[in-house]
């Protein structure tokens, strides 16, 4: 393992004003997104949609440091035969790959899941590296509900994340470590904070045991927000203060960077929260975005699978990428959204 090189890649992923496009929706998730805009999820439609994003030169060059791809996409070619990874690389962004194989129910823990995919990972990683991937992603899913999460669920997921991260570093690939505490429940913001703290501490402890070099990872955490079904709303300042304070307590300064997931927040909320955190300044790590929905909702609903909407959808993507790029530097202003509208 060349740690200096891993650190260089990890720092490039969180370069000032840039963040990560999470375009790694698995078959079921992309179908859900396409159903919502009336598009049939065929291999060609998925290719056309993703090609459209990767060919959005302004966004890709200025505000996107890397793209997380699904296995299908990393091998796919654009309509003109150019490999999609080459299109990404030409913009200066790094190709990355989702390597987890989704979640399975955790035995004896009703309602809880564990992320799988470790078995053949050591053999798969060099092939992805060969294909151009310089970073990878593994997402653990922790739900909050009555009596959950259990310690068994947190520990099993943290252990898998650590084993994945060590395998990636061994293959000279930067692991994005994503322990996502879902915001879907009816819990309040205090409960989100309590569970996220436990999950982060456990994840870093497991990474310590697995000898993961923190300078060669990017953490992808959730923000501290009340559950969607709680009917409660927290102020932007409260979310930012709680999230930053918690990260300071749980994330060693050696970590190369932090790139948040959006988790189902609205596009503008995800941007405003990131901006407010970066305005606090004086943090040991760069804080940026690794958004899926909060970057893609606007281009998807504009595109609707129609060739005549491509230019407008690319403008919508560029706008969200630019807003989040500004937020990653604490320079976003709400009236920039209104102006664009
Ligand atoms: C883009 O969505 C990713 C893939 O999800 P599935 O494996 O469930 O299809 C997802 O892992 C994503 O990278 C993160 O959860 C962050 O996405 P959001 O939409 O929360 O920013």
Work out the average pLDDT over 273-282: 96
pLDDT classification of 281: cutoffs 50, 70, 90: confident
The answer to whether the CB of 254 falls within 8 A of the CB of 293 is no
Cα distance between residue 158 and residue 291, in whole Å: 21
C-alpha torsion sign, points 173, 12, 263, 109:
positive
Q: What are phi and psi of 258, to 5 degrees?
A: -125, 130
Inform me whether the pLDDT recorded for 333 exceeds 80. Answer: yes
Q: What percent of the chain has pLDDT over 90?
A: 99
Q: Helix axis angle, 310-327 relative to 267-279, nearest 10°?
A: 30
Going by alpha carbons, the residue nearest to atom 17 of ligand 1 is 292
Q: What are phi and psi of 253, to 5 degrees?
A: -65, -20
Inform me whether the pLDDT recorded for 279 exceeds 70. Answer: yes
- Domains of the chain (ranges; CATH) run 3-340 (3.20.20.70)
Ligand 1 centroid to 101 CA: how many Å?
13
Ligand 1 centroid to 293 CA: how many Å?
8
For the CA of 264, the closest atom of ligand 1 is 20
pLDDT, tens digit (0-9, with 9 covering 90-100), for 11-33: 999 999 999 999 999 999 999 99
Q: Largest Cα–Cα distance in the chain?
A: 53
Going by alpha carbons, the residue nearest to atom 11 of ligand 1 is 139
Helix (H) or strand (E) holding 109: none
pLDDT, tens digit (0-9, with 9 covering 90-100), for 126-156: 999 999 999 999 999 999 999 999 999 999 9
Residue of 162, 174, 165 whose CA lies nearest to 216: 174
pLDDT classification of 315: cutoffs 50, 70, 90: very high
pLDDT classification of 341: cutoffs 50, 70, 90: low
Catalytic positions: 178, 220
The answer to whether the CB of 330 falls within 8 A of the CB of 279 is yes
Going by alpha carbons, the residue nearest to atom 13 of ligand 1 is 22
pLDDT at residue number 297: 98
């Amino acid at each position: 393992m060349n740690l200096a090189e891993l650190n260089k890649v990890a720092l490039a992923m969180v370069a000032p004003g840039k963040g990560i496009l999470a375009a790694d929706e698995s078959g079921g998730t992309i179908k859900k997104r396409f159903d919502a805009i009336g598009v049939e999820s065929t291999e060609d439609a998925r290719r056309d949609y993703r090609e459209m994003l990767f060919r959005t030169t302004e966004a890709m060059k200025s505000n996107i440091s890397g793209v997380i791809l699904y296995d299908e996409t990393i091998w796919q070619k654009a309509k003109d035969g150019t490999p999609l990874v080459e299109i990404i690389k030409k913009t200066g962004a790094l190709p990355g790959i989702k390597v987890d194989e989704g979640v399975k129910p955790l035995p004896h823990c009703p309602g809880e899941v564990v992320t799988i995919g470790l078995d053949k990972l050591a053999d798969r990683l060099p092939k992805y590296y060969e294909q151009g991937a310089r970073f990878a992603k593994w997402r653990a899913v922790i739900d909050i509900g009555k009596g959950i999460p259990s310690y068994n669920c947190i520990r099993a997921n943290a252990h898998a994340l650590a084993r994945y991260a060590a395998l990636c570093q061994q293959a000279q690939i930067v692991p994005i470590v994503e322990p996502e505490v879902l915001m879907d429940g009816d819990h309040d913001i205090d409960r989100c904070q309590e569970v996220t703290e436990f999950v982060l501490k456990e994840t870093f402890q497991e990474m310590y045991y697995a000898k993961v070099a923190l300078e060669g990872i990017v953490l992808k955490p959730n923000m501290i927000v009340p559950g969607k079904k709680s009917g409660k709303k927290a102020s932007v300042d409260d979310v930012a203060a709680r999230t930053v304070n918690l990260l300071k307590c749980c994330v060693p300064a050696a970590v190369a960077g932090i790139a948040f997931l959006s988790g189902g927040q609205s596009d503008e909320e995800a941007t405003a929260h990131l901006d407010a955190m970066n305005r606090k300044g004086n943090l040991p790590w760069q804080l940026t975005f690794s958004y899926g929905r909060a970057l893609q909702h606007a281009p998807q609903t504009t595109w609707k699978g129609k060739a005549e909407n491509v230019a407008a959808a690319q403008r919508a993507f560029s706008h969200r990428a630019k807003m989040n790029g500004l937020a990653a530097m604490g320079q976003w202003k709400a009236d920039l959204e209104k102006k664009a509208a």
